[in-house]
Amino acid sequence: MFRAGQSDTFSGDSVFAPTNMSSDVRNPAEYNQGTDPVVGTTKVDSEFDGLGRLVLAKDNNEPGERQACDERILGGGEFVARTLKEAEEAERDRSRLRREGWTPERVLGRAGEVARIRPSMILGGGKRPAQALGRALACKWMIQDLGMKGADAARFLGISQPAVTIASRRGAQEESRLDVRLSRSGGEGA
The stretch 141-169 carries a mean pLDDT of 95
Asked whether 141 and 153 are in contact (CB, 8 A), the reply is: no
pTM for the whole structure: 0.58
Looking at the predicted structure, is the pLDDT value of residue 50 above 70? no
**pLDDT per residue over 75-132, tens digit each?**
666 776 787 788 888 888 888 988 999 999 999 999 999 999 999 999 998 889 999 9
- Alpha-carbon distance of 187 to 184, in angstroms, equals 8
Crossing angle for the helix pair 129-140 and 161-178, nearest 10 degrees? 100
Topology (CATH level 3) of domain 102-178: Chromosomal Replication Initiator Protein Dnaa; Chain: A; (1.10.1750)
Domain boundaries, the chain: 39-83, 102-178
- Alpha-carbon distance of 78 to 85, in angstroms, equals 11
Contacts of 19 (CB under 8 A, 6+ apart): none
